[in-house]
Amino acid sequence: MTKPFDILLWDVDGTLLDFLAAEDISIRSLFKDFDLGVCTDEMLCLYSAINADYWKRLERGEMSKKEILVKRFETFFSQVGIRSVDCDAFDKAYQKRLGETVVFRDNSYELVKSLKGVIPQYAASNGTIVAQTGKLTRSGLIHLLDGVFLSEKLGAEKPSVLFFDKVFETIPTVDRERILIVGDSLTSDILGAKNAGIQSCWYNPSHKPNTTDIKPDFEIEHLSEIKKILDIN
């Protein structure tokens, strides 16, 4: 019996790995390392909002990744009234710390392991090379995946069709409608899939309402549900 998909693409942050948890751990620890006092819950919420806004600008092509990585911290420290922070140095330390911090979503490691050899699996991420290489290596996922595609190396960000065109230059040639990407971002993963002509699955564990006109082909609340979509026991 023919399976519905030939290739599986995984988003990393917010999908296979819990980005917000890693962000929390990394920012709080760097406040100590940089002798900035205590990072409060309110500060962390503010940073998360600022960071999300800058990544949206990246997705829309309004700013480069190099710009947003430092600008987000310049904006954050300015708003919380902390002066004299070398934001470039802070960001470099942050990227490294993120790479050292692994928090799995659901049963992602066991799931990817169970699918190894059953369907080719690739990571497709807008995250930085330093952070993502560290996370995927430390988590052990690097040894389970058939390949890793990072936007910095490809020279294009999701949801750009160029990102996916670069991916498809490398993986075996298959019908694009038989490629599925799983991700938590409507504006990055799901819109990117639509742009590239592939199928999409929105990982939405918090049951967030979709107030956009970006419609995924599938929606799941737990990663294990992907097996049903793949028609794999």
CA gap 159, 74 in Å, rounded: 26
Residue of 11, 13, 18, 106 with catalytic role? 11
Token pair listed for 192: 């990117």
Pairing of strands 218-220, 199-203: parallel
Task: State the alpha helices, DSSP H only, in the chain.
Answer: 19-33, 41-59, 65-80, 87-99, 108-115, 129-139, 151-154, 161-168, 191-196, 226-230
Token pair listed for 160: 């750009």
Annotated active-site residue 106? The verdict is no
Residue numbers annotated as active site: 11
